[in-house]
Chains A and B, each alone.
Chain A
Amino acid sequence: MVQITPVPTVARMVGVGRILRGKSVTSPCGDPTLPVEAENMLIHKYVKRALELLASPADSEIIYTIEGRE
């Protein structure tokens, strides 16, 4: 399981093995300030990254981002 969340500290506290930092509380996988096409590309990036994380070993200490990790 990979969790996309804008508040990853909670996920880490519980011990989630694959944590992906979401964009914002009101829009975890997208960004309403972007134009439609750009936002669509961003949502694609989130899903793609989530699938990459499912295919990688888990580590409950790391918080991942769409670019890499924190």
Chain B
Amino acid sequence: MTTPAVLSYLLRSINYRFAREAKQLNYRVVHYLNQFFGQVGGEDKADIPFVIKEGPIGPGVLLSQLLGDGIEVVGTIICGDNYFSNNPEESSLEALGHIEKFSPDLFIAGPAFEAGRYGVSCGAVCKRVSERLNIPAITGMYHENPGVDIYRSDAFIVETGNSAGKMKDDLAKIARLSKSLLYKEWADKFLTGDGVGSPEEYGYFSRGIVKNEYVSKTVATRMVDMLLHKLKGEEFNTELTLPKFESIELPAPINPKNSTIAVVSDGGLCRKGNDAGFSGRGNKVWTYYHIDEFFKDLGSRSNDDYQVVHTGYFSVNVIDNINRLVPIDVMREYESEGYIGNLLPIFISTSGNATVAKECQRMGQEMAEMLRINNVDGVILTST
């Protein structure tokens, strides 16, 4: 934060405090929701641009009650998940423009639970808001949501369940953190780092902020204690959590003209009737098809041959033209023209929507083994 920004922040805090005490004004909160929670529609409305409403909408009503007296949800910004994710940079700036008109003291997004696009958009808007408006920005996500790792340092991300099943409990956590951040002087806390409740206490993902603090035991003592607990098979609390994803050795370039290239997709494409047995969400299986059978020539191909089993996106566009997900006709053309040495006559398919990371890794390894056996040199993977 730059010096002018810090000063303006302090002035705002002081002004508001006096104004509030004098006029007993409420703290103002703006809430961000996607098209579903904003009660516009489902996947079919995921392309809607921003809709601005006064007051709370949907879960915002319960949130409002939980925030209690003295805090008011003055406005709700609703946006379609696809509209936002098509251009997150611009969309988050656009969101900021709408949000600042409400002169909020606090911003809350979601919660997004396990929804990937929603989580990423909540995180992106929180980041913009906290950087540009210098107010606390809070959202909520399940620990597997990709938005957690991307935005944990930029927003307060409260840990939620994986669905709206426990919405009330999750909103209560958000409300509790909100009150803690509003009612103690935000400026003091920002400058000194004191008084911001810890992640453990308030149930949010640690923001990677390293703070010096005094403890009674030296690091040597703590380390040996930890090791002794571990050796005895007892519980111990690590002071540092390792990152989730191991780094992969990046493969060297290939020459497609003399390579075998395969096409893989996690868009959930399968034969009509779901012969693959995909689950629309949390899927743990993958399959493969011989492309001559599965992707007949354009003349004999029909939309009725296919199905998409994936609850994370609206599949009409893909069923209308398979090449939008699996560009098979173009790949065949390139093979016959010599841009690709060989197109593997097998298409590998799975449905990737809120699948646990471990299962993704297992499936990936199994697919890689099949590709290796078939001497594949390069893969084009398409995802939605």
Binding site for B on A (CB under 8 A): 1-7, 9-11, 13-15, 17, 22, 24-30, 32, 39, 43-44, 46-48, 50-51, 54-60
Known: A4-B380, A58-B251. A51 touches B316 (CB 8 A): no
CB pair A9–B378 under 8 Å, yes or no, is no
Give, as a whole number of angstroms, the nearest-CB distance from A45 to chain B: 10
B139 close to A (CB within 8 Å): no
What are 23 inter-chain pairs, A to B, with CB distance below 8 A? A1-B251, A2-B381, A3-B381, A5-B382, A5-B383, A9-B88, A13-B149, A15-B247, A15-B248, A25-B86, A26-B313, A26-B315, A28-B382, A29-B323, A29-B327, A32-B321, A51-B256, A54-B261, A54-B378, A54-B380, A55-B254, A56-B253, A58-B252
Give the complex CA separation of A54 and B82 in angstroms.
Answer: 28
B289 close to A (CB within 8 Å): no
CB pair A9–B150 under 8 Å, yes or no, is yes
Most chain B CB inside 10 Å of its own CB: which residue of A14, A22, A57? A14
CB pair A4–B248 under 8 Å, yes or no, is no
8 Å CB contact of A25 from B252, B378, B380, B384? B384
8 Å CB contact of B248 from A3, A17, A22, A50? A17
Give, as a whole number of angstroms, the nearest-CB distance from A24 to chain B: 6
Interface string of B81-102 (1 = CB under 8 A from A): 1100110100000000000000
CB pair A47–B331 under 8 Å, yes or no, is yes
Question: How many residues on chain B are close to A (CB under 8 Å)?
Answer: 49
CB pair A6–B378 under 8 Å, yes or no, is no
CB pair A43–B379 under 8 Å, yes or no, is no
B146 close to A (CB within 8 Å): yes
Which 10 pairs show the lowest CB-CB distances between chains A and B? A30-B324, A58-B250, A17-B250, A5-B383, A27-B324, A1-B379, A26-B317, A27-B317, A51-B256, A3-B381
Most chain A CB inside 10 Å of its own CB: which residue of B116, B251, B252, B314? B251
Chain A residues, Cβ within 8 Å of B331: 47
8 Å CB contact of B379 from A2, A24, A46, A59? A2
CB pair A32–B324 under 8 Å, yes or no, is yes
Give the complex CA separation of A4 and B314 in angstroms.
Answer: 18
Chain A residues, Cβ within 8 Å of B295: none
